[in-house]
Amino acid sequence: MAFSPTDLETRPDRLVATARDLANETGSSAFTVAQVTERSELSLKAFYQCFRGKDELLLALLTEDSRIGAEVLAARIGNRTGDEAVHAYVIELFDMLSLPGAIGYAGVLVREYLRLVEHHQAELQVALQPLHDLLARNLTTADPDLDARTMFGVLLGGVHELVVGRARKPRELAEYLYRFCSRGVLGQ
Protein backbone atom coordinates (compact mmCIF):
# COMPACT_ATOMS: atom_id res chain seq x y z
CA MET A 1 0.00 0.00 0.00
CA ALA A 2 1.44 3.37 -1.00
CA PHE A 3 0.93 6.48 1.08
CA SER A 4 0.89 10.00 -0.23
CA PRO A 5 2.99 12.73 1.40
CA THR A 6 -0.24 14.08 2.87
CA ASP A 7 -0.81 10.77 4.69
CA LEU A 8 2.67 11.03 6.19
CA GLU A 9 2.09 14.64 7.25
CA THR A 10 -1.17 13.84 9.02
CA ARG A 11 0.20 10.93 11.06
CA PRO A 12 1.43 13.09 13.97
CA ASP A 13 -1.94 14.86 14.06
CA ARG A 14 -3.77 11.53 14.12
CA LEU A 15 -1.57 10.27 16.93
CA VAL A 16 -2.04 13.45 18.97
CA ALA A 17 -5.82 13.35 18.39
CA THR A 18 -5.91 9.73 19.50
CA ALA A 19 -3.84 10.53 22.60
CA ARG A 20 -6.31 13.34 23.36
CA ASP A 21 -9.25 10.94 23.04
CA LEU A 22 -7.58 8.42 25.34
CA ALA A 23 -6.68 11.16 27.84
CA ASN A 24 -10.29 12.35 27.84
CA GLU A 25 -11.52 8.81 28.46
CA THR A 26 -9.12 8.18 31.35
CA GLY A 27 -8.56 11.74 32.62
CA SER A 28 -4.84 11.00 32.51
CA SER A 29 -1.98 9.76 30.40
CA ALA A 30 -2.55 6.20 31.59
CA PHE A 31 -2.48 4.81 28.07
CA THR A 32 0.25 3.07 26.14
CA VAL A 33 1.86 3.78 22.80
CA ALA A 34 0.36 0.48 21.63
CA GLN A 35 -3.13 1.71 22.52
CA VAL A 36 -2.51 4.96 20.65
CA THR A 37 -1.29 3.18 17.52
CA GLU A 38 -4.08 0.61 17.60
CA ARG A 39 -6.78 3.24 18.03
CA SER A 40 -5.28 5.49 15.34
CA GLU A 41 -4.87 2.49 13.01
CA LEU A 42 -1.16 3.20 12.62
CA SER A 43 1.77 0.90 13.23
CA LEU A 44 4.36 1.21 15.97
CA LYS A 45 6.86 1.95 13.20
CA ALA A 46 4.70 4.88 12.05
CA PHE A 47 4.53 6.12 15.64
CA TYR A 48 8.30 6.06 16.05
CA GLN A 49 8.74 7.83 12.73
CA CYS A 50 6.72 10.69 14.22
CA PHE A 51 7.76 10.65 17.89
CA ARG A 52 10.76 9.36 19.84
CA GLY A 53 8.47 8.07 22.56
CA LYS A 54 5.41 8.70 24.67
CA ASP A 55 6.86 11.80 26.33
CA GLU A 56 7.30 13.47 22.95
CA LEU A 57 3.68 12.59 22.11
CA LEU A 58 2.50 14.04 25.43
CA LEU A 59 4.47 17.22 24.79
CA ALA A 60 2.88 17.51 21.33
CA LEU A 61 -0.55 17.07 22.93
CA LEU A 62 0.19 19.67 25.61
CA THR A 63 1.55 22.08 22.98
CA GLU A 64 -1.55 21.87 20.83
CA ASP A 65 -4.02 21.96 23.69
CA SER A 66 -2.20 24.84 25.43
CA ARG A 67 -2.41 26.88 22.24
CA ILE A 68 -6.12 26.12 21.88
CA GLY A 69 -6.73 26.70 25.59
CA ALA A 70 -4.96 30.06 25.49
CA GLU A 71 -7.10 31.16 22.54
CA VAL A 72 -10.30 30.17 24.34
CA LEU A 73 -9.11 31.75 27.57
CA ALA A 74 -8.17 34.99 25.78
CA ALA A 75 -11.65 35.17 24.27
CA ARG A 76 -13.19 34.64 27.70
CA ILE A 77 -11.00 37.36 29.23
CA GLY A 78 -12.05 39.69 26.44
CA ASN A 79 -10.87 43.28 26.60
CA ARG A 80 -10.15 43.31 30.32
CA THR A 81 -6.65 44.38 31.30
CA GLY A 82 -4.41 44.50 34.34
CA ASP A 83 -5.69 43.06 37.60
CA GLU A 84 -9.16 42.58 36.12
CA ALA A 85 -7.68 40.40 33.36
CA VAL A 86 -5.57 38.42 35.84
CA HIS A 87 -8.69 37.73 37.91
CA ALA A 88 -10.58 36.69 34.78
CA TYR A 89 -7.65 34.45 33.74
CA VAL A 90 -7.82 32.53 37.01
CA ILE A 91 -11.62 32.27 37.15
CA GLU A 92 -12.02 31.37 33.48
CA LEU A 93 -9.15 28.84 33.63
CA PHE A 94 -11.04 26.92 36.30
CA ASP A 95 -14.40 27.38 34.57
CA MET A 96 -12.89 25.92 31.39
CA LEU A 97 -12.33 22.60 33.18
CA SER A 98 -16.01 21.88 32.56
CA LEU A 99 -15.61 22.20 28.77
CA PRO A 100 -15.63 18.98 26.72
CA GLY A 101 -12.12 17.57 26.49
CA ALA A 102 -10.62 19.89 29.09
CA ILE A 103 -10.40 17.36 31.89
CA GLY A 104 -8.26 15.01 29.77
CA TYR A 105 -5.78 17.80 29.03
CA ALA A 106 -5.83 18.90 32.66
CA GLY A 107 -5.33 15.32 33.85
CA VAL A 108 -2.32 14.81 31.61
CA LEU A 109 -0.84 18.19 32.52
CA VAL A 110 -1.16 17.97 36.29
CA ARG A 111 -0.14 14.32 36.53
CA GLU A 112 2.84 14.65 34.18
CA TYR A 113 3.98 18.20 34.88
CA LEU A 114 6.73 17.55 37.44
CA ARG A 115 8.12 14.55 35.59
CA LEU A 116 8.15 16.41 32.28
CA VAL A 117 9.76 19.48 33.89
CA GLU A 118 12.48 17.25 35.26
CA HIS A 119 13.22 15.47 31.97
CA HIS A 120 11.98 17.90 29.28
CA GLN A 121 12.00 21.35 30.87
CA ALA A 122 12.66 23.35 27.70
CA GLU A 123 10.07 21.46 25.65
CA LEU A 124 7.43 21.79 28.37
CA GLN A 125 8.15 25.50 28.68
CA VAL A 126 7.55 25.88 24.94
CA ALA A 127 4.36 23.80 25.19
CA LEU A 128 2.91 25.99 27.94
CA GLN A 129 4.18 29.30 26.55
CA PRO A 130 0.80 30.47 25.17
CA LEU A 131 -0.79 30.13 28.62
CA HIS A 132 2.16 31.82 30.35
CA ASP A 133 2.25 34.66 27.83
CA LEU A 134 -1.46 35.34 28.23
CA LEU A 135 -1.01 35.73 31.97
CA ALA A 136 2.30 37.62 31.82
CA ARG A 137 1.00 40.33 29.50
CA ASN A 138 -1.43 41.44 32.21
CA LEU A 139 1.05 41.46 35.09
CA THR A 140 2.61 44.79 35.93
CA THR A 141 5.41 43.37 38.05
CA ALA A 142 9.19 43.66 37.79
CA ASP A 143 9.42 40.24 36.10
CA PRO A 144 6.04 39.36 34.56
CA ASP A 145 7.35 36.22 32.84
CA LEU A 146 8.77 34.70 36.02
CA ASP A 147 5.71 35.78 37.99
CA ALA A 148 3.38 34.25 35.38
CA ARG A 149 5.28 30.94 35.52
CA THR A 150 5.19 30.93 39.32
CA MET A 151 1.52 31.83 39.44
CA PHE A 152 0.70 29.22 36.80
CA GLY A 153 2.46 26.60 38.95
CA VAL A 154 0.26 27.54 41.90
CA LEU A 155 -2.84 27.37 39.70
CA LEU A 156 -1.78 23.92 38.48
CA GLY A 157 -1.76 22.78 42.09
CA GLY A 158 -5.40 23.85 42.33
CA VAL A 159 -6.28 22.16 39.05
CA HIS A 160 -4.64 19.00 40.39
CA GLU A 161 -6.87 19.12 43.47
CA LEU A 162 -9.93 19.26 41.20
CA VAL A 163 -8.72 16.55 38.82
CA VAL A 164 -8.05 14.07 41.62
CA GLY A 165 -11.30 14.92 43.39
CA ARG A 166 -9.92 16.53 46.54
CA ALA A 167 -11.64 19.81 45.69
CA ARG A 168 -15.21 19.99 44.48
CA LYS A 169 -15.93 23.69 43.99
CA PRO A 170 -13.90 25.07 41.08
CA ARG A 171 -15.13 28.67 41.40
CA GLU A 172 -14.48 28.81 45.14
CA LEU A 173 -10.99 27.36 44.68
CA ALA A 174 -10.27 29.77 41.81
CA GLU A 175 -11.28 32.77 43.92
CA TYR A 176 -9.07 31.57 46.78
CA LEU A 177 -6.10 31.04 44.47
CA TYR A 178 -6.60 34.45 42.87
CA ARG A 179 -6.59 36.11 46.31
CA PHE A 180 -3.51 34.11 47.31
CA CYS A 181 -1.62 34.94 44.12
CA SER A 182 -2.71 38.57 44.07
CA ARG A 183 -1.18 39.05 47.52
CA GLY A 184 2.06 37.33 46.55
CA VAL A 185 2.49 38.42 42.96
CA LEU A 186 0.46 41.58 42.66
CA GLY A 187 1.10 42.81 46.23
CA GLN A 188 -2.59 43.40 46.96
186 Cβ partners below 8 Å, 6+ apart?
83, 86, 139, 141
pTM of the model: 0.88
Which of helix, strand or coil describes residue 78? coil
Output the pLDDT for position 8: 54
What are the structural domains of the chain?
55-184 (1.10.357)
In this structure, what are the phi and psi dihedrals at residue 41, rounded to the nearest 5 degrees? 60, 40
Under a CB-based contact definition with an 8 Å cutoff, are residues 159 and 170 in contact? Answer: no
In tens digits, the chain (188 residues) has pLDDT values of 444 444 656 899 999 999 999 998 888 899 999 999 999 999 999 999 999 999 999 999 999 999 999 999 999 999 999 999 999 999 999 999 888 878 888 888 898 998 999 999 999 999 999 999 999 999 989 999 999 999 999 999 999 999 888 998 999 999 999 999 988 876 76
Burial class of residue 129 (count of CB atoms within 10 Å of its CB; 0-12, 13-18, 19+): middle
